[in-house]
Amino acid sequence: MDESCFSLYCNSERYTTGSPTLADPVNELLRHFRQDSLGVTAALTIQFYAVQNRADVPLTISSSACRLASGTGEAVGDRRATGLPYEVTQDQGILIVDFHRVGVLAIDGKQGHAKGYLINPEQLPATLVEYLFHLTLIELLRRCGLYTIHATALEHNGRAILIPGNSGRGKTTSFISLLRSGYRYLSDDHPLLQDSGAHVEVLPFPIRINVTDATVQFFPELRAASEQVLHPGVPKRFFYAEDLYPTAVGERCQPALVLFPHVVDSPQSHLELLPKSRALEALLPQALLVYDQEVARQEFKVLAKLVQQVDCYRLHFGRDILDLPKLITPLLEKRR
């Protein structure tokens, strides 16, 4: 069995699997959190197994199990991995997520344990393995007071900017525009949120940055990058922030701005201040689904508290892509 150890903000996690196909994507996802050893009993443990057939999954659902949700496989935004048929069941405290022909996740949030059984994982895209592991990890981290949303995040002079949104809204393009101007990288897709008491903090969750060909064309350094820097991928290419930009990964900090981007056919970008209620309404769909009522209440409180402590804007993102920092940085300076 291959074993990997990680430490995520005082939460130790041990991941084991007997399949290199299931080990490599996880080590890639959590490479910034890797530890040689933990030295303590892990608070969270995840085990992924490779199986050949659905019948090989050693799970039996009891007659008292409660079906919580199901989906036909319609994709949501750019979250292509959610384009899988699924069924979610609660059985004796275990959350069971059945992706049918892909595999099954069994998550015991209260105990901090989870198991995944993936069918012929060598035939699955690495991004799908990564997605299923991330889904499992986030479900466990919620019980530790760490939450996530679908957003990019950057830090500048100790304050964070969150840019939530689905594909086509300009989220990643606006993120790169700020990153190349000296902002520090927190996350391309899944920053972590934690309620520190007085305020909500944004914690780095650095992963590779996925870009479409259209986004690449906006930035000279991406257009000129070799395949050793801008790696091939399907459907998107990807790069690591440290390979292109001199700024390091940022540190945990208080958020100051939340920007909801919307691409417009205009020579200049502009901002529209959003009421707190509208901002919270726009932010909630960017959180992952929660099936435990108490965890859902706590997560809602964190998101509501986040919105109250920041300024929220609709970013009408025009064709002045490289000039976006001139619009955003003065807002951060005022917040200081």
Express each pLDDT in 43-56 by its tens digit.
999 999 999 999 99
pLDDT of residue 69: 87
Domain map of the chain by residue range?
2-144, 148-335
- Residue range 317-336, pLDDT digits in tens: 999 999 999 999 999 988 76
Mean of the pLDDT values across residues 62-71?
90
Identify the CATH assignment for 148-335 out of 3.30.200, 3.30.70, 3.40.50, 2.40.50: 3.40.50
Q: What are phi and psi of 255, to 5 degrees?
A: -75, 145
Mean of the pLDDT values across residues 146-164?
96
Of the chain, the percentage scoring pLDDT greater than 70 comes to 96
- pLDDT band at residue 276, thresholds of 50, 70 and 90? very high
Amino acid at 25: P
What span, in angstroms and rounded, lies between the C-alpha atoms of 73 and 75? Answer: 6
**Helices 20-29 and 126-142, packing angle to 10 deg:** 60
What span, in angstroms and rounded, lies between the C-alpha atoms of 164 and 286? Answer: 7
- DSSP assignment of 171-215 equals HHHHHHHHHTTTPEEEESS--EEEE-SSSEEEE----PEEE-HHH
Lowest-pLDDT range of 58-62, 275-279, 313-317 = 58-62
Q: Name the nearest CA neighbour of 323 among 174, 192, 198, 216.
A: 174
Mean pLDDT, the chain, integer: 92
- pLDDT band at residue 288, thresholds of 50, 70 and 90? confident
Point out which residues pair with 114 in neighbouring strands: 46, 107
pLDDT at 13 over 80: yes
pLDDT at 80 over 50: no
- Residue range 244-253, pLDDT digits in tens: 998 889 999 9
- Residue range 112-141, pLDDT digits in tens: 999 999 999 999 999 899 999 999 999 999
Compute CA distances 229 → 209, 222, 225, 226, 235, whole Å.
Answer: 11, 9, 6, 5, 17
What span, in angstroms and rounded, lies between the C-alpha atoms of 173 and 152? Answer: 10
pLDDT at 76 over 70: no
Mean of the pLDDT values across residues 56-85?
74
pLDDT at 83 over 70: no
Q: What are phi and psi of 321, to 5 degrees?
A: -60, -45
Query: Which residue spans within 204-253 are E strands per DSSP?
Result: 209-211, 237-239
- pLDDT band at residue 88, thresholds of 50, 70 and 90? very high
What span, in angstroms and rounded, lies between the C-alpha atoms of 65 and 8? Answer: 32
Judge whether 292 and 197 are in contact, CB under 8 Å.
no
- pLDDT band at residue 73, thresholds of 50, 70 and 90? low
Buried b (16+ CB within 10 A) or exposed e, 46-83: bbbbbbeeeeebeeeeeeeeeeeeeeeeeeeebebbbe
Point out which residues pair with 255 in neighbouring strands: 160
pLDDT at 81 over 90: no
pLDDT at 235 over 90: no
pLDDT at 179 over 90: yes
- Residue range 216-232, pLDDT digits in tens: 999 999 999 999 999 99
